[in-house]
A and B are shown apart, each in its own frame.
Chain A
Amino acid sequence: DAKTTQPPSMDCAEGRAANLPCNHSTISGNEYVYWYRQIHSQGPQYIIHGLKNNETNEMASLIITEDRKSSTLILPHATLRDTAVYYCIVRVATDKLIFGTGTRLQVFP
């Protein structure tokens, strides 16, 4: 099973871009990278996912390196409401979505 490594915590100033890294060096060729976030006491919220190409939606951008061993989630203009735990997840071969320990992002004024 592919595993992910994320820094336990990060800070970001409000209005600046938040760049959250994720290492998934054992990822297989057909495994997607997913990002979710969880605001305190709420259910996880889907952000974005990708396979090989960079992806962008209304919430964030996902940059995946060419060798697919790492990726970065970019929140272009962080707000206080983006304070949350961000999970980088690689789907395992079976029908599972397994969460790692995540990065606790603190956005400050």
Chain B
Amino acid sequence: DTEVTQTPKHLVMGMTNKKSLKCEQHMGHRAMYWYKQKAKKPPELMFVYSYEKLSINESVPSRFSPECPNSSLLNLHLHALQPEDSALYLCASSQEASWVTGNTIYFGEGSWLTVV
């Protein structure tokens, strides 16, 4: 089973709302990722968690707040977003964050976020 599950699939939120995106995997992976993808653009890395600790933050604005409650779950808390934050948010996981052994990263189907 190589499944990464993301909820919700679609989310519409106002600029003053607080919402969260959720991601779950049961493959025993110890690295989890958030990517953001705008229309007709490639995915852009936002955050990397390794062993439940934040290891990479790609200078993401603080209105995006990641959280890794345990090794199977990854959340992205959203607050005071702007319309330009509307995008597809992708969660991914891999056995390890290190790429020395060439491990594979698996993606979920994404959460479509619209900020109004």
A-to-B contact residues, CB < 8 Å: 30-32, 36, 41-46, 49, 51, 87, 91, 94-102
B56, A43: Cβ atoms closer than 8 Å: no
Across-interface contacts of B107 in A (CB, < 8 A): 36, 43-46
Across-interface contacts of B106 in A (CB, < 8 A): 46
Mark B16-42 against chain A: 1 for CB-CB distance below 8 A, else 0: 000000000000000101000000001
B55, A44: Cβ atoms closer than 8 Å: no
| B43 contacts A by Cβ under 8 Å | yes
Which of the residues B42, B88, B98 comes within 8 Å of A95, measured between beta carbons?
Answer: B98
Number of A-B contacts (CB under 8 A): 53
Which of the residues B48, B99, B105 comes within 8 Å of A46, measured between beta carbons?
Answer: B105
Q: List 6 interface pairs A-B (beta carbons < 8 Å), by A numbering.
A: A31-B99, A43-B92, A44-B43, A95-B50, A95-B97, A96-B45
Complex CA–CA separation, A86 to B16 (angstroms):
37
Across-interface contacts of B104 in A (CB, < 8 A): 46, 49
Which of the residues A42, A43, A91, A101 comes within 8 Å of B99, measured between beta carbons?
Answer: A91
Output the nearest chain A residue to B110 by Cβ-Cβ distance: A43
Given contacts A95-B56, A99-B44, 8 further A-B contacts (CB under 8 A): A30-B100, A31-B99, A32-B99, A46-B105, A95-B98, A97-B45, A97-B92, A102-B42
